[in-house]
Structure 1
Amino acid sequence: MKNFIIKLNIFLLIFTFNALINISSAQDRIVIAGGSLTEIVFALGEGDKVVGVDKTSTYPQSVTTLPQIGYWKLLNIEGILSLNPTLFITLSDAEPNNIISQVTQAKVDVLSLKRVPGTLELLYENIEKIANKLQKPDQGQQLINHIKDNLSQIQQKIDMQPNKAKVLFLMSMGGTNSVAGKNTTADALITIAGGENLAKHNSYKSYTAESIIAMNPDVIVLNSHSIQQLGGSDKIDTIPGITETAAFKNHRIITIDDGYLFGIGPRVDEVAKILYDGFYLQ
């Protein structure tokens, strides 16, 4: 009888402990500023706890139905707190500059993560930090290993290419052509996919038609928003100078979704394959 009572008490203790964990988990409310960070949370299987995101969070499709807290460079403390978050995951350079301290002062747990440099090492670091915060360390390591394995396969193919594709990433908006240079997500993705970014300047810079013609890229990458701005893919030839490039003449124009450009995220292997195929298999 005594052993039975002891076993019963142990069972009740374990049951109560698990119940408390489940209650705590059910009450978790995560708000995120940063598309790549949102993708990491969902990739770790914790998307059901996300109650609000910023405008750069567009993947997976289900996040588009969540309440928005604005653009990560123009956040509003009232909008964030109105969602009653228990955890705010944000890029460390989110703005206004005092937004992180404001959320912290409101007694909300904050996980602030670096956005730059846009490297795979930083991606893996951010995955690990988010996974640990969400008590999913094993899932975090599995995600990292999955990405590394896929990128390793792509790298093997890159190593077999005798020459690197010469690439320009072009963002066309309102008649102005901006080209992605160093310290941009586009530049990092081009490099990861085995291409050489012809633009050596920092950040984004407007290019004239003459500049694009002079650089004469083998491949031009455009984002989907630029295609929409142009009025469709059949309007690419309206970009000044583009028809004189080898990329246009050889039909080597690649379009990628804007979602890939909001920081190096867990789908980096997916976009790297798209770009690699465009660089070398077309």
Structure 2
Amino acid sequence: MKKKFMGKLVLFLLIFSINSFINVCSASQRIVIAGGALTEIVFALGAGDQVVGVDKTSSFPEKVKQLPQIGYWKLLNIEGILSLKPSLFITLNDVEPENIIDQVNQSKVDVLALKRVPGTIELLYENINKIAVKLDKQKEGQVLINQIRTNLADLETKITTHPQKTKVLALMSMGGTNSVAGKNTTIDALITIAGGENLANHNSFKSYTAESLITLNPEVIILNKHSIDQLGGLDKVNTIPGIIETAAFKNNRITIIDDSYLFGIGPRVDEAAKILFQSFYPQ
């Protein structure tokens, strides 16, 4: 009987030790992230204290701004990443240069590469699940998904009361030029989730003439804060060629959205969609 008890005790202690080791390893990760939405997921899961570096698109929560940066996600270099001595690199799978993920892998750093497009809620849930598993935060991941799902379900109910979709255009400052956001952009996905209709059917970003803007005549125009800064302030919106002839400008329906919502569909998607919905369908 005593031997049997001792055998069970040894087995219990062995299992406990293994679990403790796994937990300690997970808790002691040094995480570097390329992708603002991915950074938000890690922090939302409660693992922000393990993050030691981020890319330039990572700006939320506020404490992220105090972390070392590895550059822009489209222009990374292996030295900047490895200088932070990461044990895990969480990244978008289309970061550049194209060989950067292979370089990090070859440096014996664990890599979790996740899809950026299509910008859908389903992909967001998939990415949350994958990060949660990697960080041993499955419970927190499910709680986060359920919270987002509940909030979006409430929003979808409200959207159904507006069968006529609001016509929208999103103008973003790209290298000093105001370009219109089309398909395969985060803002296009957010417009759809919020119950609006993006009038731009082209892919990515494209410059529009004043005539094109007037012809489309959006009911709502979205600008990000960076674009407003580039213009020199909100009172300079009227300097965008053609904008003063649109219904959006005439009816004072210019919506400003924070840039931090626009670096991929992240865990605050319900918050961003609510802001846009309220601008599309004001009470």
TM-score (norm 1): 0.93
Secondary structure of the corresponding residue to residue 128 of structure 1: helix
Q: What CA distance in whole angstroms lies between the structure 1 residues aligned with 2:178 and 2:25?
A: 50
Matched, 1:161 2:162: yes
Equivalent position amino acid for 1:136 in 2: K
Q: Which residue of 2 aligns with 1:102?
A: 103
Asked if the contact 2:166/2:220 (under 8 Å) is kept, the reply is yes
Which residue of structure 1 lines up, in the alignment, with residue 145 of structure 2? 144
The correspondence of residues 203-242 of structure 1 with structure 2, limited to 5 A, is 203-242=204-243
Deviation at 1:183, TM superposition (A): 1.2
Shift of 1:25: 3.8
| Cα deviation code 1:105-150 (max 9, x no counterpart) | 1111000101111111111111111111111111111111111110
Please state how far the C-alpha of 1:240 moved relative to its aligned partner. Answer: 1.3
Q: Secondary structure at the match of 2:172?
A: strand
Q: Report percent identity of matched pairs.
A: 73
2:171–2:178 contact (8 Å) kept in structure 1: yes
In the other structure, the counterpart of 2:47 is: 46
Q: How does 1:22-171 map to 2 (within 5 A)?
A: 23-171=24-172
Show CA shifts across 1:141-194 (max 9, x none): 111111111011111111001310000001135663200111111111100000
Equivalenced residue count is 282
SS, match of residue 110 in structure 1: strand
CA-to-aligned-CA distance 1:53-79 (integer Å, 9 cap, x gap): 000001001011101001111111011
Measured in 2, the distance between the counterparts of 1:206 and 1:114 equals 27
Equivalent position amino acid for 1:35 in 2:
G
- Paired position in structure 2 for 1:250: 251
Secondary structure of the residue aligned to 1:157 is helix
Q: What secondary structure sits across from 1:254 in the alignment?
A: strand
Contact in 1 for aligned 2:55/2:72 (Cα 8 Å)? yes
- 2:241 partner amino acid: P
- SS of equivalent to 2:227: helix
Contact conserved, 1:173 with 1:229, CA < 8 A, in 2?
A: no
Q: How far has the Cα of 1:241 moved from its partner?
A: 1.1
Q: Retained in 1: the 8 A contact 2:176–2:230?
A: no
Matched AA of 1:198? L
- Report SS of the residue matched to 1:107: coil
Q: Distance in 2 between matches of 1:37 and 1:132?
A: 14
In structure 2, distance between residues paired with 1:58 and 1:182 = 24
Q: Secondary structure at the match of 1:200?
A: coil
| 3-state DSSP of counterpart to 1:51 | strand
Q: 1:281/1:16 Cα in 2 relative to 1: closer, same or farther (>3 Å)?
A: same
Secondary structure of the 2:58 match is coil
8 Å Cα contact 1:73-1:95 kept in structure 2 = yes
CA distance in 2, matches of 1:195, 1:270: 15
Q: Distance between the aligned counterparts of 2:93 and 2:249, measured in 1?
A: 39
C-alpha spacing 1:173/1:86, structure 2 compared with 1 (3 Å): closer
SS in 2 for 1:211: helix
d(CA) in 2 for partners of 1:174 and 1:25? Answer: 41
Alpha-carbon distance in 2 for matches of 1:239, 1:85: 44
- Structure 1: gaps spanning 5 or more residues: none
Q: CA RMSD for the aligned pairs?
A: 2.0
TM-score w.r.t. length of structure 2: 0.93
Q: Distance in 2 between matches of 1:187 and 1:16?
A: 49
Q: Whole-Å Cα distance in 2 between the matches of residues 246 and 154 of structure 1?
A: 25
Change (3 A) 1:162 1:7: closer
> SS at the partner of 1:135?
coil
Aligned equivalents of 1:217 and 1:266: distance in 2? 28
Return closer, same or farther for 1:163/1:32 CA change in 2, 3 Å cut-off: same
Q: Which amino acid aligns with 1:211?
A: S
Of the structure 1 ranges 208-217 and 271-280, higher mean CA displacement relative to structure 2 is found in 208-217
Q: Give the secondary-structure state (helix, strand or coil) at the position aligned to 1:84.
A: coil
